[in-house]
């Protein structure tokens, strides 16, 4: 068996094409969605990430709003910038680029974001709405990476209703939040959350229909611990030196031998990453549509 690829790059491109049409429909009504970014300092990695967001915006017709502060900005400076984005009517949603400089109370900053403008979908209020609204429609922004994973699986026809899903990793971005989406009644999966304290990881993963690897541990999921025919989603991101080129490269949590036993695998890179970026745009467009009635 050789697994088929869950192509996040192609799927994200299709989503962006759909969003372009929706943004054009909003523009015909005089509504222009705007995505804001708050960047503190000038980390090359953070700047590259933020630039990518604004490149995505240009592709689909979303307005870009950039807020930048120096690395020595105070807590008060950063909080004031957040408030300006909260108050800016042109800003439909925004992100605060992490990490913030050492000494800044990051959680306090994130909790100051207007939940309705939370483009990442990770504000405590929005996560709480997912907890409360198991059966009801959710109109608040959704966590981008979990939403992107589910969208990717559904577009490839992977059945989630009644599926046994094992999540490896308990980070807020994926591990702790994806279960809130997967266990909603409209999806109806059964979710097991595993982590570094799990005594026997293989005992869980060998019985899973879907494995979502989001631990940030290279090769933690191997063929030996995956059920034949399972679907495996590689989310974790680590960096290691390429033995041939000597350059740093991205590696995921899924060992290459998993492709020999799984039915579907999302590659890393080229899988969940592009989907996360697409769902960030989707959150902004969806918010603009709801506000426009």
| Cβ neighbours, 10 Å, residue 252 | 29
> Would you say 169 is a known binding-site residue?
yes
* Torsion-angle region of 169 (φ positive above 0: left; ψ -120 to 50: alpha; else: beta): left
Q: How many helices (H) and strands (E) does the chain have?
A: 9, 11
| Cβ neighbours, 10 Å, residue 238 | 16
> Would you say 40 is a known binding-site residue?
no
> Would you say 171 is a known binding-site residue?
yes
Place of tokens 């990430």: 49
> Would you say 237 is a known binding-site residue?
yes
What is the number of alpha carbons within 13 Å of residue 111 lying toward its C-beta?
Answer: 6
**Which positions are annotated as active-site residues?**
53, 97, 120
| Cβ neighbours, 10 Å, residue 103 | 8
Which residues contribute to the annotated binding site for NADP(+)? 169-171, 237
Which residues contribute to the annotated binding site? 169-171, 237
């Amino acid at each position: 068996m050789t697994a088929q690829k869950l192509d996040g790059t192609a799927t994200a491109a299709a989503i962006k094409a759909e969003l372009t049409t929706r943004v054009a429909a909003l523009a015909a009504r005089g509504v222009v969605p705007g995505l804001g970014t708050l960047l503190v300092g000038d980390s090359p990695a953070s700047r590259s990430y933020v630039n990518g967001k604004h490149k995505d915006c240009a592709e689909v017709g979303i307005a870009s709003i950039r807020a930048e502060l120096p690395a020595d900005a105070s807590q008060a400076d950063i909080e004031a910038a957040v408030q300006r984005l909260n108050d800016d009517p042109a800003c439909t949603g925004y992100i605060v680029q992490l990490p913030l400089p050492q000494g800044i109370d990051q959680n306090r900053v994130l909790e100051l974001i207007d939940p309705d403008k939370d483009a990442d979908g990770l504000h405590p209020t929005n996560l709480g709405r997912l907890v409360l609204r198991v059966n009801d429609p959710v109109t608040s922004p959704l966590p981008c990476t979990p939403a992107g994973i589910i969208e990717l699986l559904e577009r490839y026809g992977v059945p989630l209703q009644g599926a046994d899903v094992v999540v490896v990793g308990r980070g807020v971005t994926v591990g702790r939040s994806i279960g809130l989406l997967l266990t909603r009644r409209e999806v109806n999966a059964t979710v097991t959350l595993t982590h570094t304290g799990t005594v026997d990881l293989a005992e869980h993963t060998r019985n899973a229909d879907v494995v979502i690897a989001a631990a940030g541990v290279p090769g933690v999921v191997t063929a030996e611990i995956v059920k034949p025919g399972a679907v495996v989603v590689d989310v974790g991101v680590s960096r290691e030196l390429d033995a041939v080129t000597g350059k740093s490269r991205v590696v995921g949590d899924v060992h290459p031998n998993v492709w020999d036993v799984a039915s579907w695998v999302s590659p890393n890179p080229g899988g969940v990453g592009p989907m996360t970026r697409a769902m960030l745009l989707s959150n902004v467009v969806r918010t603009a549509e709801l506000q426009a009635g």
